[in-house]
Structure 1
Amino acid sequence: MEAVADTLELLRRASLVVASIEDALAGTDLTVDRWRALACIESSPGCSMSDVIDALVIPSTSATRIVDFLVEIGAIFRTVSPRDRRRTTLRLSSHGQALLRDVEPTIVGAIGVKPQSVSPL
């Protein structure tokens, strides 16, 4: 039973962190998952959609919707992989880098931890 109680407490705390990040991102083009996707792409330039799906632990349809939005607002570039033309790679644009940089102080204030020290994976 202790393991169940520990798991429930962990989930409660995770929900509180997510709520704090949501509040910090209010008024931006970013949601928590969009922010996580940008952080993932920043930490792994040239990553694939599969990498984003694995890092965020979300369905492929959700990842596609997130990436499509980030491409639409100019935060990331989606290009054909030079090694495998069937695969696309993802990279941050200067706008995506600016978005991450701009929200970092707010997120640090909300969760008390610098985002670089929190792995998106």
Structure 2
Amino acid sequence: MAAPTPGAAGVVEFLDRVDHAVATALSANPSATDVGRDGWRVLLMLARGTGRSMGEIAGHTTLPAPTATRIVDRLVERKLAYRSADPLDRRRVLVHLSAEGRTVVESVCQRVQHILTPRRAPATRPGAYDSPIPGPRTGSPV
């Protein structure tokens, strides 16, 4: 078995960091503690537009329709989403992100961004070298 290319390994490592950051952000938000990964994917989809049908939700998240329905039921119970009749076809139900759901999405996204943003050590003196890698500056005497 061949070793992964450095580029692929970097992408996989980055995706692992993002996955961990999302899990951390979800667990730190009391309104999102029981949402789960699939629920989070549904919330993100709902945040990107207007009402979505259950078929669209199942197709986008690649979840079986009964599973998508259970997840939406849970989101509606937690008041993170709500259902309404489609104004163009009263037989069809649309799922929308609620105001509380939007707050959760924004909060989790901000927290993920904060977790993934590289931190720089504060400069200890004016003009101090602010490098994330310890050691002498390039070009300075060793």
1:57 to 52, 62, 70: 62
Q: Secondary structure at the match of 1:26?
A: helix
With over 3 angstroms needed to count, the CA separation of the structure-2 counterparts of 1:53 and 1:111, relative to structure 1, is: farther
Superposition RMSD on alpha carbons, in Å? 2.6
Ranked by relative contact order (alpha carbons within 8 Å, sequence separation 6 or more), the top structure is 1
Distance of 1:86 and 1:34 partners within structure 2: 24
Shift of 1:96: 1.0
Structure 1 or 2, whichever has the larger Rg, is 2
Could you list the runs of 5+ residues in structure 2 that have no partner in the other structure? Answer: 118-142
Does structure 1 residue 72 correspond to structure 2 residue 77?
yes
Q: Secondary structure at the match of 2:52?
A: coil
1:95 to 93, 100, 112: 100
Aligned to 2:121: none
- The count of corresponding residues between Structure 1 and Structure 2 is 110
Instruction: State whether residues 21 and 111 of structure 1, in contact with CA within 8 Å, keep that contact through their aligned partners in structure 2.
Output: no
Given the two structures, how large is their TM-score scaled by the length of structure 1?
0.73
Give the share of equivalent positions with the same residue, in percent.
Answer: 28
User: Which structure has greater helix proportion?
Assistant: 1
User: For residue 20 of structure 2, what is the amino acid of its counterpart?
Assistant: A
